[in-house]
């Protein structure tokens, strides 16, 4: 019998390199893979094997191209989540959604009789896509936001957000954020019940404020939690029905009430749950160049010129069934509140009680990776109208105007430090 061959020296070296690269992380030894702090679609640390399995199932559903046989349509915008949320990062302006409505004497009307507020610009063969109706007075383009770290944002207690509000600007800093409130319709109440956290002392989220729920996801904060956002995305963006929204989108403009022929609900609750768990367990974006002296100086300036008053560096979660999300501090750079951002960002479109000029503070974590996920050119603000960070800051009017002016008054070196800090997020 031939003696078992000993491992050659080069082979041993290869194994050693492989093992050490697994220990150190992939950024140094395997140049073909992106660094850990450059990817957004990683799971939270420490998920149990069975949790990781649901996360991975949700990851697959997030990437899955749904077909007409699965129930896409009759009208829709896209056929998979990650077509818009590429790599779980910010989406390209090419995938902006359009929402519209009409301002009237009784307030803003989302024109449901014309298929509002969302324009489904694609349709199955034999159906027609929607068009913007003539009655519209305002329309907004919504660029797909990054979807990472959202489990942390979802786990912030309602009481924390209520305490951050300053609707009458009592502290006189020119900033008066307030929470979005969403009507407690039967289905929204059901969604809140399904996700209400009752651990120990009772519900800490999904509580009623003046008979309404606090909104926290979406650019106008129109969704109360990740389940709400997900079933809404399935129906509105892809034409897929669920237990919670079991009726297909029909084109009210053409009066074609033919259905897509796929039995409703088209998407089983297991898929919905996996998608929600996937979003909930996506890790928060990691920082880069955090200790660079310019970044550190920019961080301090970000606070002193008032950016941090809305882009709150630190929030705390309440209780969660996942220990990773339970009672922890995290750094999203948002207060999840609505702010009046002035006339330039007023598209004449709105949702819930937000004014047309009010927007939810965009979380800035992951900001420095924007271009990587948007095809090389970064786009900023709700519709991607700003191509540079300086332009984005320049668009801060209303409650944001004092900090914009303070930024513009900085020396060129200090401006660069603020920008270096923003790129490190």
Interacting residue with ligand HEC among 148, 392, 417, 424 (CB under 6 A): 392
Q: Which does 234 bind (CB under 5 to 8 A by kind): ligand HEC, Ca ion, none?
A: ligand HEC
Interacting residue with ligand HEC among 182, 214, 224, 275 (CB under 6 A): 275
As a whole number of angstroms, the distance between CA 260 and CA 239 comes to: 9
Give all strands (DSSP E) within 296-336, no chain letters.
Answer: 315-316, 329-330
Q: Is 115 in the site for Ca ion (CB under 5 A)?
A: yes
Size of interface with ligand HEC, in residues (CB under 6 A): 54
Q: Is 396 in the site for ligand HEC (CB under 6 A)?
A: yes
**Residue listed under structure tokens 């009046």:** 340
> Could you give phi then psi for residue 54, rounded to 5 degrees?
-70, -40
- Closer residue to Ca ion in complex, CB, 88/260: 260
| Contact stretch for ligand HEC (CB under 6 A) within 73-81, 119-127, 257-265, 312-320 | 73-81
Local structure of residue 386 (DSSP, 8 states):
B
Q: Is 235 in the site for ligand HEC (CB under 6 A)?
A: no
Cα 384 from chain centroid? 14
Q: Is 420 in the site for ligand HEC (CB under 6 A)?
A: no
Least distance in angstroms from the C-beta of 222 to Ca ion: 15
- Closer residue to ligand HEC in complex, CB, 27/292: 292
| Contact stretch for ligand HEC (CB under 6 A) within 130-138, 141-149, 184-192, 200-208 | 141-149
> Could you give phi then psi for residue 374, rounded to 5 degrees?
-115, 25
Supply 391's token pair: 């332009």
Interacting residue with ligand HEC among 191, 227, 310, 420 (CB under 6 A): 310
- Enumerate residues 358-387 that contact ligand HEC by CB under 6 A: 359, 361-362, 367, 380-382
The strand pairing partners of 21, in sequence order, are none
Q: Which does 396 bind (CB under 5 to 8 A by kind): ligand HEC, Ca ion, none?
A: ligand HEC
As a whole number of angstroms, the distance between CA 409 and CA 412 comes to: 9
Give all strands (DSSP E) within 120-278, no chain letters.
Answer: 122-123, 138-142, 180-183, 208-209, 212-215
Listed residue (212, 185, 220, 210) closest to 101, CA to CA: 220
| Dihedral sign, Cα of residue 28, residue 34, residue 40, residue 44 | negative
Beta-carbon-side half-sphere exposure of residue 351 (alpha carbons within 13 Å) = 25
- Closer residue to ligand HEC in complex, CB, 134/163: 163
Q: Is 341 in the site for ligand HEC (CB under 6 A)?
A: yes
As a whole number of angstroms, the distance between CA 193 and CA 216 comes to: 16
- Enumerate residues 80-109 that contact ligand HEC by CB under 6 A: 81, 83-85, 95, 97
- Closer residue to ligand HEC in complex, CB, 83/320: 83
Q: Is 145 in the site for ligand HEC (CB under 6 A)?
A: yes
Q: Is 309 in the site for ligand HEC (CB under 6 A)?
A: yes
Buried b (16+ CB within 10 A) or exposed e, 349-368: bbbbbbebbbbbbbbbbbbb
Supply 23's token pair: 């220990």
CA dihedral 41, 45, 49, 53 (to 10 degrees): -20
Cis status, amide bond into 117, omega within 30 of 0: yes
Least distance in angstroms from the C-beta of 54 to Ca ion: 25
Least distance in angstroms from the C-beta of 133 to Ca ion: 10
Cα 57 from chain centroid? 20
- Enumerate residues 151-190 that contact ligand HEC by CB under 6 A: 175
Q: Is 59 in the site for Ca ion (CB under 5 A)?
A: no
Q: Is 237 in the site for ligand HEC (CB under 6 A)?
A: yes
Least distance in angstroms from the C-beta of 318 to ligand HEC: 19
| Dihedral sign, Cα of residue 321, residue 322, residue 324, residue 325 | negative
Q: Is 129 in the site for Ca ion (CB under 5 A)?
A: no
- Enumerate residues 234-293 that contact Ca ion by CB under 5 A: 239, 248, 260, 262, 264
Between CA 182 and CA 257, with CA 80 as vertex, the angle to 5 degrees is 70
Q: Is 281 in the site for ligand HEC (CB under 6 A)?
A: no
Q: How far is CA 98 from CA 62, 86, 130, 247, 354, in A?
A: 22, 19, 11, 21, 17
Residues that bind Ca ion (CB under 5 A): 71, 115, 118, 120, 239, 248, 260, 262, 264
Residues that bind ligand HEC (CB under 6 A): 77-78, 81, 83-85, 95, 97, 142, 144-145, 147, 150, 175, 217-219, 222, 226, 229-230, 233-234, 237-238, 275, 279, 305-307, 309-311, 339, 341, 345, 359, 361-362, 367, 380-382, 389, 392-393, 396, 399-400, 403-404, 407, 418, 422
């Amino acid at each position: 019998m031939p003696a078992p061959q000993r491992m050659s020296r080069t082979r041993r070296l290869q194994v050693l390199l492989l093992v050490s690269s697994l220990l150190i992380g992939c950024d140094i030894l395997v140049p073909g893979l992106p660094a850990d702090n450059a990817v957004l679609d990683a799971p939270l640390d420490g998920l149990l094997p069975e949790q990781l399995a649901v996360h991975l199932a949700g990851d697959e559903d997030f990437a899955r191209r749904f077909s007409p046989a699965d129930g896409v349509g009759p009208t829709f915008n896209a056929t998979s989540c990650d077509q818009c949320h590429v790599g779980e990062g910010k989406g390209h302006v090419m995938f902006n959604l359009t929402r519209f409505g009409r301002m009237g004497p009784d307030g803003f009307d989302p024109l449901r009789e014309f298929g509002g507020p969302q324009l489904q610009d694609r349709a199955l063969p034999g159906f027609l896509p929607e068009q913007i109706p003539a009655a519209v007075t305002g329309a907004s383009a919504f660029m797909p936001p990054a979807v990472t770290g959202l489990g942390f944002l979802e786990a912030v207690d309602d009481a924390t957000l209520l305490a951050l509000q300053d609707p009458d600007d009592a502290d006189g800093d020119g900033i008066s954020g307030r929470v979005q409130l969403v009507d407690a319709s039967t289905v929204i109440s059901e969604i809140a019940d399904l996700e209400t956290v009752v651990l120990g002392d009772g519900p800490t989220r999904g509580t009623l404020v003046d008979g309404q729920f606090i909104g926290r996801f979406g650019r106008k904060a129109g969704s109360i939690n990740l389940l709400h956002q997900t079933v809404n995305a399935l129906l509105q963006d892809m034409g897929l029905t669920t237990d919670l929204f079991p009726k297909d989108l029909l084109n009210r403009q053409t009066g074609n009430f033919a259905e897509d022929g796929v039995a409703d609900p088209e998407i089983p609750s297991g898929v919905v749950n996996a998608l929600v768990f996937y979003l909930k367990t996506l890790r928060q974006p990691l920082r880069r160049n955090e200790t660079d002296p310019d970044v550190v100086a920019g961080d301090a300036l970000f606070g002193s010129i008032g950016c941090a008053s809305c882009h709150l560096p630190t929030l705390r979660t309440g209780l969660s069934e996942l220990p990773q999300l339970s009672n922890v501090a995290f750094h999203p750079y948002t207060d999840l509140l609505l702010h009046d951002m002035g006339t330039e960002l007023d598209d004449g479109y709105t949702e819930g009680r937000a004014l047309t000029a009010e927007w939810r503070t965009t979380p800035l974590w992951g900001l420095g990776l924007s271009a990587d996920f948007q095809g090389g050119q970064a786009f900023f603000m709700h519709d991607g109208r700003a191509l540079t960070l300086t332009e984005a800051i320049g668009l801060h009017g209303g409650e944001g105007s004092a900090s914009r002016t303070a930024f513009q008054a900085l020396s060129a070196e200090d401006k660069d430090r603020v920008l270096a800090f923003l790129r490190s997020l």
